[in-house]
């Protein structure tokens, strides 16, 4: 099997160095790094590396977020690289050294994509990177999800079929990935791009598997109720509303599910350091989501 790593980076050079080191140790045949117009020393450092023919550098002229970065990387792979599988992750995620060897043992032709188990530096499961075995949509499903989350997301102990992918630790058949570029909605900038991409694939009959033996470590910036920087809540709210616009039939979230998630974001206000900024970005996300406004919309840097 031939494996291609697809890494998107923006202004996190220290973490990118660890990421590339871990990727080399894991034994990827190709490592594609999409530099999302970083303004730090990332471009110079990448240019100084002598890792041909393994390392491929794609430098974008503007920051298009994780969504735009993965789409740009997908296009590069389609045009330039032949492999069997593509593994997607951010610059702050580090593959386990045995990731690819374990995948070779566990892989089945039945599945178009796999989700790895993603843990933080303390070894805890990263909830934001867990796939859903079933998306809670109705009123009763959301209540059930709150009471019995193990019925909707894997508990980390066994392999389970799932219906969504995380772009941190997704392993996708190369041909499926590059032939589905239009399903990576770069206009989202960040957040929900992986959920919507996988929902498109599910609608086209593809199957996914969560395999907890495949490990990534994610150096998270959001792993608690405190969302820092607060502009990130804007994309979590706006892109949730945009799901109705992106899917004409069978969107991943019902109207009730969207309302419930907005209410949850509001309920997390007391945990925020800058409550006024947090509220500002929630209401801006609601307005732009209803109006269908997309792209980079916050006042500050970020991937």
Taking the CB of residue 44, how many other CB atoms lie within 10 A of it? 10
What is 3-141+154-218's CATH topology? Answer: Spore Coat Polysaccharide Biosynthesis Protein SpsA; Chain A (3.90.550)
What gap in Å lies between CA 283 and CA 230, rounded to an integer? Answer: 12
Asked if the bond preceding 229 is cis, omega within 30° of 0, the reply is yes
Name which of 173, 168, 34 is nearest 88 in CA terms. 168
Our CA angle for 238, 243, 248, nearest 5°, is 150
3-state secondary structure of 271: helix
Give yes or no for a contact between 150 and 133, defined as CB atoms under 8 angstroms apart: no
Give yes or no for a contact between 93 and 118, defined as CB atoms under 8 angstroms apart: yes
What gap in Å lies between CA 247 and CA 98, rounded to an integer? Answer: 38
Q: Dmax over Cα atoms in the chain, in whole Å?
A: 56
The confidence score (pLDDT) of residue 9 equals 98
Q: Is the entire prediction scored with pTM above 0.85?
A: yes
Q: Tokens 């996708």: give the residue.
A: 172
Per-residue pLDDT of the chain (303 residues; tens, 9 = 90+): 999 999 999 999 999 999 999 999 999 999 999 999 999 999 999 999 999 999 999 999 999 999 999 999 999 999 999 999 999 999 999 999 999 999 999 999 999 999 999 999 999 999 999 999 999 988 889 889 989 999 999 988 899 999 999 999 999 999 999 999 999 999 999 999 999 999 999 999 999 999 999 999 999 865 568 888 999 999 999 999 999 899 988 899 988 899 999 999 999 999 999 999 999 999 999 999 999 999 999 876 444
* CA 82 to chain CA mean position, Å: 23
For the chain, where do the domains classified as CATH 3.90.550.10 start and end?
3-141+154-218
What gap in Å lies between CA 123 and CA 93, rounded to an integer? Answer: 13
Give yes or no for a contact between 95 and 216, defined as CB atoms under 8 angstroms apart: yes
Q: What tokens does 72 get?
A: 């740009």
The confidence score (pLDDT) of residue 221 equals 60
Give yes or no for a contact between 155 and 127, defined as CB atoms under 8 angstroms apart: no
């Amino acid at each position: 099997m031939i494996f291609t790593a697809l890494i998107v980076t923006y202004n996190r050079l220290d973490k990118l160095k660890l990421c590339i080191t871990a990727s080399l140790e894991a034994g990827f045949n190709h490592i594609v790094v999409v530099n999302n117009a970083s303004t730090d020393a990332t471009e110079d450092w990448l240019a100084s590396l002598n890792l041909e023919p393994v390392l491929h550098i794609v430098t974008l002229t503007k920051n298009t977020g994780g969504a735009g970065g993965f789409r740009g990387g997908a296009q590069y792979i389609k045009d330039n690289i032949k492999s069997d599988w593509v593994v997607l992750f951010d610059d702050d995620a580090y593959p386990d050294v045995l990731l690819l060897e374990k995948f070779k043992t566990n892989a089945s032709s039945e599945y178009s994509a796999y989700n790895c188990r993603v843990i933080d530096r303390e070894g805890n499961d990263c909830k934001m990177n867990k796939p859903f075995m079933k998306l809670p949509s109705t009123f009763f499903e959301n209540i059930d999800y709150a009471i019995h989350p193990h019925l909707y997301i894997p508990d980390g102990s066994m392999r389970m079929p799932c219906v969504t992918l995380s772009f941190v630790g997704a392993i996708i058949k190369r041909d499926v990935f590059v032939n589905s570029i239009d399903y990576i909605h770069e206009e989202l900038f960040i957040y929900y791009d992986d959920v919507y991409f996988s929902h498109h694939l599910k609608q086209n009959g593809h199957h996914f598997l969560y395999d907890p033996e495949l490990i990534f470590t994610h150096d998270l910036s959001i792993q608690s109720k405190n969302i820092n920087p607060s502009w990130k809540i804007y994309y979590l709210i706006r892109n949730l509303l945009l799901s109705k616009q992106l899917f004409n039939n069978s969107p991943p979230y019902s109207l009730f599910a969207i309302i419930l998630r907005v209410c949850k974001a509001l309920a997390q206000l007391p945990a925020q350091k800058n409550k006024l900024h947090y509220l500002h970005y929630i209401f801006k996300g609601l307005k732009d989501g209803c109006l269908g406004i997309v792209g980079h919309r916050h006042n500050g840097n970020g991937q």
